[in-house]
Amino acid sequence: MTQEIMEAVKEAKEQAKPRNFTQSIDIIINIKDLDIKKPENRFDEEVDLPNGRGKPVNIGFIAEGELAVQAKNAGIDLVVSKEELEEFGKDRKKAKKVANSTDFFVAQADMMPLVGRFLGPVLGPRKKMPKPVPANAKADPLIKKLQSTVKIGVKDQASIQTLVGTQDMDDEKIAENIEAVLTVLDRNLEKGRKQIKSMFIKTTMGSVVRVI
C-alpha cells in the first residue's frame, strides 16, 4: 500500500493551490464493520510519527519549581502555576481559550488533583487532559516526544482524521508517518487495516485524494 499512499500524497500536493502558509497533510480513514456503540470498539491513542509532524506543536506545562524553570528555558510559553490554575477555575472563558490553542498539556503529578478540579471540565471534553509526570522529570525529552505526536481515536464515528506531516516534507517521509498510524488500526481493530473502508489524503485547504 505504500506506493499507493505516496502517489496520493504527491497528487494532493500537486492539487494544492499556493497559499501564504505551509499546509498540513491530513489522512482520513473510514472504518467498516465496526459497532462504535460497543465500548470495546472505541480507542484513543497517541502515535509517535517517525518523521515528526513537520510543524510546531503548542505545549503547556502545569508545573512549579525545577520542572517549570526547565520548561521556560526550553521555550515553552505556557507554564501554569497553582495560583494560575485557580484563576482558570474562576475564568472559564480564559480556560477555554488556552485549551483550544494548546495541543498537549504536561502536568506535575502532584498538581493533577488541582488540574482535575480547575481545568478538567474544559480539558476533558477536548481530550486534552495532561500527562502526569514526576516533579523531577526532565522537560526536554517530554517536549521532543510531543513534537512528533498526534492523537487518533474512534469514539462517535467510525472514522479517523489526523495530521501526518506538511506539504514541504518528502512524500516518502509522509508515507512512513501514515504507516505508523495504520499500525494503530492493526492493534485496535479485529481485522486490522483490512477493515479500512476508504482512505483519503488532503492538504489543509485542498480537496481529498483517494488512496483506497
One domain for residues 177 and 124: no
One domain for residues 139 and 83: yes
The residues with which 71 forms a beta bridge, in sequence order, are none
Alpha helices in the chain (DSSP H): 2-15, 65-73, 82-90, 92-101, 112-118, 120-123, 139-146, 171-188
Of 117, 59, 110, nearest to 87 (Cα)?
117
The residues with which 24 forms a beta bridge, in sequence order, are 166
Q: What is the CATH number of the domain that holds 37?
A: 3.30.190.20
Which of 146, 171, 189 is a domain's end point?
146
Host H or E run for residue 127: none
- Residue 119 CA: distances (Å) to CA of 69, 78, 104, 195: 22, 14, 13, 37
Percent composition of the chain: helix, strand, coil (DSSP 3-state, to 5)? 40, 25, 35
Query: Rounded CA gap, 156 and 37, in Å?
Result: 8
Instruction: Per-residue pLDDT tens, the chain, 212 aa: give them.
Output: 678 898 899 989 988 888 888 899 999 999 998 888 888 888 888 999 999 999 889 999 999 999 999 999 999 999 999 999 999 999 999 999 999 999 999 999 999 999 999 999 999 998 899 989 999 999 999 999 999 999 888 888 889 999 999 999 999 999 999 999 999 989 888 888 888 999 999 999 888 889 98
Range of the domain at 119: 59-146
